[in-house]
Structures are given as structure tokens and as C-alpha cells.
């Protein structure tokens, strides 16, 4: 009798353990944990040295619609990719430069696809580029740069990117259903305040999103979409439709630190959400990274930074691009809750130190694929590498 009782108890414990294990595994896939070393940061990331760099300049060619001739559109440099996790594959839209455009080669966006998040097969022709359309004056001949991609709950993709005419960088947006065919909508600030901000220097649009089962879905907070943007300081903007955005201004009781580099007097009227810091790795510039992540702890923004050794981190050479993390209040996306004291990824490999622009790790693509986090980044504005968090 006692023997039978032990057998019954054993099977009860075994069943409960298996059931608990299955439940935890499912939860991990649908809602990946953020907390690791610092309770709120997404860490640690390890560079995958065995395969890096995962993408280098290529031999792709196409007939350019403006030049009307064959162009080797990615022969100079490839860098700064956006990442989409779709149908069990990873789609990378990456910035590529030719050797003929001015000032440093025309930028176009290529597409590469992977089944393991590490090895990519690229399409021969670019999927997004300057053309003889209404936006040519904004995009030619500097090109289309630095994409970031989210989707809405219906599956439409929204891509923020930088258009550069050779003089002014402007943040633009485009939409797609398949990542191959894109519709351009123009400058994100074109309609804000009667076009007041249409021509301000603007870059790096990181839209607040929910990361769910690999998808990055733009998510409203207080009935608005939110986007972090900028590449001197970081500002914020709101939208009703993910296409037309309005920068958040200072209130009558607020003012920006007078020591900050704000670019123009017009920008001084906008609220700086994330400023540079003296004595730190982010002393000279801060710039949004991948789409901001809405978590239970708050809004996690991975951001890029540039150091000035004279006023910043003495251990990093002047001009070093590294990345940090910051947590904003999920009920008030303008309020900082926590900010990293040190960068979590910085250049220390030869292909990160030497290139078109030396000493650069520029993070821009992030995804959760098969229960691992993959972070994709440009190296020295010349190649693309990946780091992984188990």
C-alpha cells in the first residue's frame, strides 16, 4: 500500500513538473524576458566572431532610373540594417553605397534573407532607391539611408529612413506589404505646424512598438503613436496614423539645457528627451537605434552615441560610436526612468575600427528569433555584423 502511494505521488510531481516546463517555454516564446544583468536592460550581447562581418560590399547591379546606366550599387560599403522577422525568416534591409554618387556615394537599400539569422542571401537589385519621382529633390544624390521598420496590427510595414540631398538630412517614411514594393509618403514632419519642421535636419526614427513572437508592432500610448528621433540630441514626436508626425514642443514651464547642441533656433523650441552627457561615452551625440520596445518595465530604447574624448569618456577615442540603453516611462514616453552608465557594445574588432568612418558600432536592427535576441549593426560604416543574447 505504501509502495503504491509513493508511485502515485511520483507521477503527480512528474506531471506537474512537465506541465510547468511547457508553460514556461511557451511564455518565453510569446513574451521574451528583458531582465538580465541590470533588471531593465536587454543584456548581455556577445558578438558572433565566428561569422562577423556577416555582410560585406557586393557585386549587385541595376539600371539606375536617374542616371539611366548600369550601377554597381553596393560595391563601396554596406551598413546600418533594419530587420524584419517574417514567416520563419529574417529579412534585412540594409544601406548600400556605390562609388560614383556625391558626396560619399549614393545610398540605396538592399534586401538580404536568412533562415538562421546569421547567413544571408541577398537580392541582386536594390528594393528602395532615389528615382524620378516627387521626392527626388530630397533623396538625390545622397540617397536613402538608415532604415528602421515596424508594422501595424494589420501587417502593413512602415519604414522610417533618412533622405539626403547632399546638404540636408530629412526623416521620411514609406509603406509596404511585402518588403519588396514600397510607397513613399515623404517627410514625416511635412504637415506638422503648417510645414514648420519640414526642412529641419532630422534622422533616425525609432517608433515605440511591442515585440511579440518576432513581430515589431507599432503600439499607441494614450491614443498616440510615439517616435524617438534625432542625431544630436534625441527628441520625440507623435502621430495618429504612423505617417504624419508632430514633434513634441517644450511647455511654457520647460527649457532645454543651454549647453546642448540643438542645431537651430527652431529645434530649441522642441523638447530634448535624451541629451548628451559630459564625462560619458555619449558626450558628443546621441541617436536612436532599433524600434523602441514597450515592456512591463517601461519603454526600452537602445541608442547610439558618439564620444568626444576631451569632454567625455577618456578611455574611448574621439569619434567612437558605441551603444547604450535608456528606459522611459510607459505612461509618459518623455520621462526617463533609468539610463545606462556605460556602453554595452563598442568597436574593438579590426572591421569596426577601420573603414569609411573609423571606430563605429552603429546598432539599428533587433529581433527575437528562435528564443534568441539578435542585434545587427554597421561597422565603421563599411560592413554589417551581428551580436546575440541567449
Q: With contact defined as beta carbons under 8 Å apart, do 127 and 136 qualify?
A: no
How far are the Cα atoms of 108, 136, 144, 285 from residue 184, in angstroms, in the given order? 14, 11, 11, 29
Tens digits of residue pLDDT in 335-357: 999 999 999 999 999 999 999 99
How far is residue 69's CA from residue 4's CA, in Å, rounded to a whole number?
A: 83
Cβ-in-10-Å burial (0-12, 13-18, 19+) of 319 comes to middle
Widest Cα–Cα separation across the chain: 89
Q: With contact defined as beta carbons under 8 Å apart, do 79 and 95 qualify?
A: yes
Model confidence band, residue 258 (pLDDT cutoffs 50, 70, 90): confident
Q: Is the pLDDT of residue 4 over 50?
A: no
pLDDT of residue 212: 96
Dihedral sign (CA 373, 312, 335, 193) = negative
Model confidence band, residue 283 (pLDDT cutoffs 50, 70, 90): very high
Tens digits of residue pLDDT in 174-230: 999 999 999 999 999 999 999 999 999 999 999 999 999 999 999 999 999 999 999
pLDDT of residue 22: 32
Domain chopping of the chain, boundaries: 49-389
CATH topology of domain 49-389: Tachylectin-2; Chain A (2.115.10)
Amino acid at each position: 500500500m505504501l509502495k503504491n502511494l509513493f508511485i502515485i505521488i511520483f507521477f503527480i510531481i512528474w506531471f506537474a513538473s512537465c506541465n510547468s516546463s511547457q508553460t514556461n517555454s511557451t511564455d518565453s516564446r510569446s513574451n521574451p524576458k528583458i531582465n538580465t544583468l541590470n533588471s531593465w536592460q536587454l543584456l548581455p550581447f556577445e558578438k558572433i566572431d565566428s561569422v562577423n562581418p556577416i555582410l560585406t560590399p557586393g557585386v549587385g547591379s541595376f539600371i539606375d532610373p536617374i542616371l539611366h546606366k548600369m550601377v554597381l550599387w553596393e560595391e563601396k560599403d554596406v551598413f546600418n540594417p533594419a530587420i524584419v522577422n517574417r514567416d520563419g525568416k529574417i529579412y534585412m534591409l540594409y544601406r548600400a553605397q556605390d562609388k560614383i554618387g556625391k558626396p560619399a556615394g549614393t545610398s540605396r537599400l538592399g534586401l538580404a534573407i536568412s533562415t538562421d539569422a546569421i547567413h544571408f542571401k541577398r537580392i541582386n537589385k536594390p528594393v528602395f532607391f532615389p528615382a524620378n519621382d516627387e521626392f527626388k529633390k530630397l533623396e538625390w544624390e545622397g540617397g536613402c539611408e538608415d532604415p528602421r521598420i515596424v508594422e501595424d496590427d494589420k501587417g502593413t510595414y512602415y519604414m522610417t529612413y533618412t533622405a539626403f540631398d547632399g546638404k540636408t538630412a530629412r526623416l521620411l517614411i514609406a509603406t509596404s506589404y511585402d518588403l519588396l514594393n514600397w510607397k513613399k509618403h515623404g517627410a514625416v514632419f511635412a504637415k506638422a505646424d503648417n510645414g514648420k519642421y519640414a526642412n529641419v535636419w532630422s534622422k533616425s526614427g525609432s517608433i515605440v512598438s511591442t515585440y511579440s513572437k518576432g513581430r515589431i508592432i507599432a503600439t499607441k500610448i494614450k491614443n498616440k503613436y510615439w517616435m524617438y528621433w534625432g542625431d544630436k540630441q534625441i527628441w520625440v514626436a507623435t502621430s495618429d496614423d504612423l505617417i504624419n508626425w508632430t514633434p513634441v514642443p517644450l511647455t511654457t514651464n520647460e527649457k532645454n539645457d543651454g549647453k546642448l547642441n540643438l542645431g537651430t533656433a527652431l529645434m530649441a523650441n522642441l523638447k530634448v528627451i535624451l541629451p548628451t552627457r559630459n564625462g560619458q561615452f555619449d558626450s558628443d551625440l546621441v541617436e536612436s537605434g532599433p524600434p523602441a520596445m514597450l515592456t512591463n518595465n517601461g519603454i526600452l530604447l537602445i541608442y547610439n552615441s558618439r564620444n568626444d574624448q576631451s569632454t567625455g569618456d577618456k578611455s574611448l577615442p574621439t569619434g567612437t560610436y558605441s551603444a547604450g540603453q535608456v528606459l522611459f516611462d510607459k505612461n509618459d514616453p518623455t520621462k526617463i526612468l533609468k539610463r545606462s552608465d556605460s556602453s554595452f557594445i563598442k568597436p574593438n574588432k579590426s572591421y569596426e575600427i577601420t573603414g569609411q568612418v573609423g571606430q563605429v558600432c552603429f546598432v539599428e536592427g533587433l529581433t527575437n528569433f528562435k528564443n534568441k535576441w539578435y542585434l545587427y549593426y554597421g561597422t565603421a560604416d563599411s560592413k554589417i555584423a551581428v551580436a546575440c543574447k541567449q
